[in-house]
């Protein structure tokens, strides 16, 4: 089972296996439903302060999504300095989460990143930028050396991307590499060679207007099992990176889809220090990590994928209070019972021994933060 707190729930996957084939699978979630109702009746800032206490996974992304939704509902804006600080924190959290999962789930703790250093770096950065995590902060902010922040992260990640390594793409496709991550890509490609997955066109488009309608009409039931206008949607590291040239070249070379998905995770992690380093006011319109196009609704690209918060605020006894709060997490998109995992695995011919490992690797590649359990039920 992947690392993760049981309080956050987990995804339970049951494979039906018969005659060298995965004949079916069921996906059930024990993740708590309607937990955002705990914010109802609270003052907006009190709700913001409680978000990281309730949402342990990607707590910074959850806080920023909540802030953006509340600010758009109240009709107020954060300063440009605060927006930059939030985006830096969001990228930093994504880097932390991806690095932790790579180290624990893919490298199995051997070599690679010193997680204590990574956690210390992030904790220091969060403390320094905590001023931005309040509703509509002004511009009275301490200056921060983003180059130094990025360099520290790059140093921490260096064991994954050796300095004397030829360019990652060339090393990957030549097979001559000392990079532990490139070796994982190569080993995944060999491990699952010849196993053809089912076709899943990763639909990623959904409009805020559609979400608003579904949230109003279906409420928490929609949050638990959301679907887009065009059916099941995936929102993940893969969907953010699948159009990259390296991924397209890997596909042309018939690299296995599981290896491609892990490669997408690696490419995103590798670029995060550079993305942090180039942040500045001129970058505000170029890194659309957070956006809100309807009052009371915001979308954030978190480590696991697109996160949506929707809030309604009314005046009660002369004070602004939250009257409605809803959250659509990327995990619920990505592990819909009829979604990506089921469509890719149902009908796949694979040995019984490999069926579990194939499923687990796909789960980790789709959502690198979720806790999960896989059960294989063999039928005679």
- Number of neighbouring beta carbons within 10 Å of residue 165: 15
Residues 270 and 70: beta-carbon distance below 8 Å: no
Q: Which two tokens stand for residue 249?
A: 């070249």
CA triplet 258, 344, 171: central angle to 5 degrees? 15
Q: Which two tokens stand for residue 169?
A: 């793409």
Residues 340 and 366: beta-carbon distance below 8 Å: yes
369 labelled binding-site residue: yes
Residues 58 and 51: beta-carbon distance below 8 Å: no
Gap between the Cα atoms of 170 and 48, Å rounded? 45
Q: How many helices (H) and strands (E) does the chain have?
A: 15, 7
CA triplet 364, 97, 247: central angle to 5 degrees? 55
> 305 — phi, psi (to 5°)?
140, -160
Binding residues: 327, 369
The binding site for Ni(2+) comprises: 369
Summarize the annotated binding site for Mg(2+) as residue ranges: 327
């Amino acid at each position: 089972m992947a690392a993760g707190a049981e309080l956050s729930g987990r995804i339970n996957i049951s494979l039906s296996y018969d005659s060298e084939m995965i004949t079916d699978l069921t996906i059930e979630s024990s993740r708590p439903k309607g937990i955002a109702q705990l914010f109802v009746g609270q003052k907006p800032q009190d709700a913001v302060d409680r978000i990281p206490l309730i949402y342990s996974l990607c707590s910074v992304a959850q806080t920023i999504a909540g802030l953006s939704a509340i600010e758009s509902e109240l009709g107020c804006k954060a300063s440009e300095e605060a927006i930059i600080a939030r985006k830096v924190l969001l990228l930093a959290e994504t880097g932390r989460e991806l690095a932790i999962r790579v180290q624990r789930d893919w490298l199995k703790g051997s070599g690679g990143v010193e997680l204590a250093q990574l956690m210390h770096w992030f904790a220091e950065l969060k403390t320094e930028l905590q001023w931005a995590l309040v509703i509509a902060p002004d511009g009275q902010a301490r200056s921060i050396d983003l180059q130094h922040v990025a360099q520290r992260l790059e140093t921490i990640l260096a064991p994954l991307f050796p300095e004397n390594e030829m360019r990652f793409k060339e090393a990957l496709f030549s097979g001559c590499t000392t990079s532990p991550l490139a070796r994982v890509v190569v080993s995944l490609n060999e491990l699952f060679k010849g196993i053809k997955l089912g076709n899943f066109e990763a639909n990623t488009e959904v409009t805020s207007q559609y979400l608003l309608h579904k949230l109003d009409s279906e409420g928490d039931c929609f949050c638990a099992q959301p679907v887009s206008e065009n059916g099941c949607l995936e929102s993940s590291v893969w969907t953010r990176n699948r159009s990259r040239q390296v991924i397209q070249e890997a596909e042309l070379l018939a690299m296995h889809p599981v290896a491609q998905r892990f490669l997408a995770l690696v490419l995103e992690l590798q670029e995060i220090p550079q993305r942090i380093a180039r942040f500045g006011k001129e970058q505000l319109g170029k890194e659309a990590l957070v956006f809100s196009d309807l009052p009371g609704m915001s979308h954030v690209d978190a480590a696991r994928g697109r996160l949506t918060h929707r809030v309604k605020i009314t005046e009660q006894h002369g004070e602004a209070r939250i009257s409605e709060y809803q959250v659509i997490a990327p995990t619920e998109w990505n592990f819909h019972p009829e979604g990506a995992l089921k469509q890719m695995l149902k009908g796949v011919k694979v040995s019984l021994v490999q069926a579990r490992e194939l499923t687990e690797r796909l789960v980790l590649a789709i959502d690198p933060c979720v806790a999960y359990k896989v059960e294989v039920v063999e039928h005679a």
